[in-house]
Amino acid sequence: MNPLYPIIDKETLIARGVRVDDFARELRDAGVTLLQYRDKSGAPQEILRAAEEVAAVFAGVEATLILNDRADLAVLAGWSGVHVGHLDLPPAAVRRVLGAGRVIGVSTHNDEQVREADAGEADYVAVGPVFATSTKLNAEPVVGLEGVRRARALTAKPIVAIGGITRENARAVIDAGADSVAVIGSLFSDGESSGKVARDFLERLR
């Protein structure tokens, strides 16, 4: 699993005046091979259009493309899989929609949810928020590095850590037991391209 898991969040891109395809291109050129597209409010056709743009950018690249929430649209778009929250469609139902061979990621926020994800259809377990985050409204309580360590002891499945992860603290998160770090807002830094930031992350996570 690639140690860097960027999330292309529609709201974040709109706020910064960045096009989906341009952002995806920067990530591709930086060496990103695992990413998620997240649009919590768009109509299905809007989400599909963005998914097609991202897929076109990554054509010919061996990349894992994950769509947030929408298993049906992930299938229609021909994407690698879907990521669901713990209150969304249950992973067993997601598997029925996706079929075999596609990836399911599940968000967890405490030990009980990690155990549940470990026992179910999830292919990877997202753990967080590790640190305080500003890109998610009504965020769950921070779990800290200790939460990552506990999750590592509870599952052999790949762990994706999310929430407030920066270039400065990413290595500590991996050292605590995460296989990958998911990042949204920290890919944007004044005076630097997102591609350069992504390259920095990958360099520090090697």
**Residue tagged active-site, from 70, 95, 102, 107:** 107
pLDDT tens sequence across 138-185: 678 999 999 999 999 999 999 999 999 999 999 999 999 999 999 999
pLDDT confidence tier of residue 87, bands split at 50, 70 and 90: confident
**Residue tagged active-site, from 136, 150, 171, 196:** 136
pLDDT confidence tier of residue 133, bands split at 50, 70 and 90: confident
**Residue tagged active-site, from 10, 25, 28, 38:** 38
pLDDT tens sequence across 47-71: 999 999 999 999 999 999 999 999 9
Domain assignment of residue 197, given as a range = 4-205
What pLDDT, on the 0 to 100 scale, is given for residue 201? 98
Chain position carrying tokens 């997102």: 194
Find out whether 142 and 132 touch, Cβ atoms under 8 Å: yes
* For residue 137, pLDDT beyond 70: no
Task: Report the CATH number at residue 87.
Answer: 3.20.20.70
- Say if residue 45 is exposed, middle or buried (CB neighbours under 10 Å; 0-12, 13-18, 19+): exposed
Structural domains counted in the chain: 1
pLDDT average, residue stretch 100-105:
97
Known catalytic residue: 38?
yes
